[in-house]
Amino acid sequence: MTERNVFEYALLRVVPRVDRGECFNAGVVVYCRAEAFVAARTHLDEGKLAALDPQADVTGVRAALRAVEGICRGGGDAGQARREDAGRRFRWLVAPRSTVVQPGPVHTGLTADPEAEVERLLDLLVR
């Protein structure tokens, strides 16, 4: 039997007009402590974005989603977070914020392959 580890994940939501509170899922962040793994995958549905706010800054939303992916990768793409371990980067990314790209609540699960879990959750909950 393959060893399964606990993982945590949060959806990334796009809230084009924070005052209205309408949102849709545009990504997922996954963290597995046992493997010191953190990763994010995103998919922006521009049709949904335009439906909620025809004036939305698509370029800005894409940049915010790419920034989350970069923070997860670490290194130069992570800015000030580049020196932090995977767990601290995850906790920083899932902290509540009132911006156009917001994390949802953190959920848990079991997985033998965190990398595959990121893709599975993206397909299931975002695409």
Q: What strand order describes the sheet that includes 37-42?
A: 37-42, 24-32, 5-14, 101-111
Q: How many helices (H) and strands (E) does the chain have?
A: 4, 4
**What is the pLDDT confidence band of residue 29, given thresholds at 50, 70 and 90?**
very high
pLDDT at 94 over 80: yes
> What domain count does the chain have?
1
CA distance 70 to 21: 26
**What is the pLDDT confidence band of residue 85, given thresholds at 50, 70 and 90?**
confident
Domain extent, residue 15, equals 5-125
pLDDT at 78 over 80: no
- Output the pTM of the full model: 0.92
Strand 5-14 to strand 24-32: parallel, antiparallel, or no bridges (unpaired)? antiparallel
Confidence (pLDDT) at 108: 98
